[in-house]
Amino acid sequence: MTLPRCTIFTRVANFCRKVLSREESEAANAVARPQMTVIPREQHAISRKDISENALKVLYRLNKAGYEAYLVGGGVRDLLLGKKPKDFDVTTSATPEQVRKLFRNCRLVGRRFRLAHVMFGPEIIEVATFRGHHEETQSDRTTSQRGQNGMLLRDNIFGSIEEDAQRRDFTINSLYYSVADFTVRDYVGGMQDLEEGVIRLIGDPETRYREDPVRMLRAVRFAAKLSMRISEETAEPIPRLATLINDVPPARLFEESLKLLQAGYGYDTYKLLREYNLFQPLFPTITRYFTEEGDSAMERIINQVFKNTDNRIRNDMRVNPAFLFAAMFWYPLLEMAQKITQESGLTYHDAFALAMNDVLDEACRSLAIPKRITSLVRDIWMLQLRMSRRQGKRAWKLMEHPKFRAAYDLLALRAEAERNTELQRLTQWWGEFQVAAPPAQKDMLTNLDDEPDTRRRHRRPRKRAPRRESNNA
């Protein structure tokens, strides 16, 4: 039987694509692959007393059932650096279904990466099966699949620990701790990079970034968090591949943005994001306000809000992403409100409300900011319009608002960023009013009546009445 010509060409093209893909994969996996090193207990700083009891339970049960199991990732890295890990991840030769059979308190999650979550109350131990090398064919898309730009859409190919080490992102995150003999296994030179303070991607950087563009954000985050430098070959492709971030789902980018900017090292991360052209795909609305001198009101308020957030986290104080976004998008909001006022003839208050919708809608195209946060952002913004109206009982009512403190903090940031004398006086007044005794507060409100009202009033233009026709016509 003679096959149609187009079918023959299709088969030939698919065969060539498969061969080339395999060669690229083998070349990438061959880059900088040191031999496996075993670091004995006496040569590393990890102790079981610093590991979560629940993580140890998972490791011991997997080992007892005959499976390989190791602590891996950021938990091992942080323990080796003398830091306290936030969470502990486990990798094993057991498949997700086999893990679920061992733990009644387990649920399987994820389609892109199939994982087992073993739950101990509020603590979740994430268990992943060793990943294997990815070779996509037409018949295996239920387990692995790439997008047009090389991005991995699904990756559930399982393999050995050696393959798993090559599939991880950075060398410092590819260290394996065994509770069986208390050793650390290093397949990619991670210990040396950890000692030298280097963030190095495993494999060919461009290929790995195309597989998952979020790795570019992670490189910057780890460099800022750990005060390390990004290796030259890892850093070089980032600026020219930064637009790949646009292919990442907005919901995932929102979660990544919180890790980047609200983990105690936001200011250093922000500087690196700008250096590597990664800030623009995350916040396209904001970057058009940046200047070569880096001294616009927008840049000053962003610098200060990140520094303030970092200080609050270092002092174990609560932080809310709503305040961060309210400060970052304040100037785009002002510009949009002014534009709507001029074009529509609406009052400034109504134009301001419409502008809030437009600015937040545009922000959510890049980051899927949840409604619970955008509603708080709106509250903080609307309170800015009320801060100058203090006469009568307004000041006391304003202080009763749940987001008053956040609104006051934004007012203070604006006064500092804009170097505006009137805003500085208003900030000082509210600072004194909050701590004053009731009699002193009454005096402060009485004194307001003696001050000229310099507040700008935005009035709706008066419409002219239609001219009446003369009866004498």
Catalytic annotation, residues: 87, 89, 169
Interior CA angle at 91 toward 88 and 96, to 5°? 110
Helix (H, G, I), strand (E, B) or coil at 109: strand
Q: What is the DSSP string of 62-79?
A: HHHTT--EEEETHHHHHH
The amino acid at residue 5 is R
Strand residues in 1-103 grouped as ranges (E): 37-39, 69-72, 89-92
179 contact partners, CB below 8 Å, separation of at least 6: 48, 56, 59, 60, 63, 69, 71
Contact present, 90 and 59 (Cβ < 8 Å): yes
HSE of 250 in the Cβ direction (CA atoms, 13 Å)? 11
- Nearest-angstrom CA–CA distance, 330 and 288: 14
Question: φ, ψ for residue 117 (rounded to 5)?
Answer: -105, 115
Count other C-beta atoms under 10 Å from residue 36's C-beta.
13
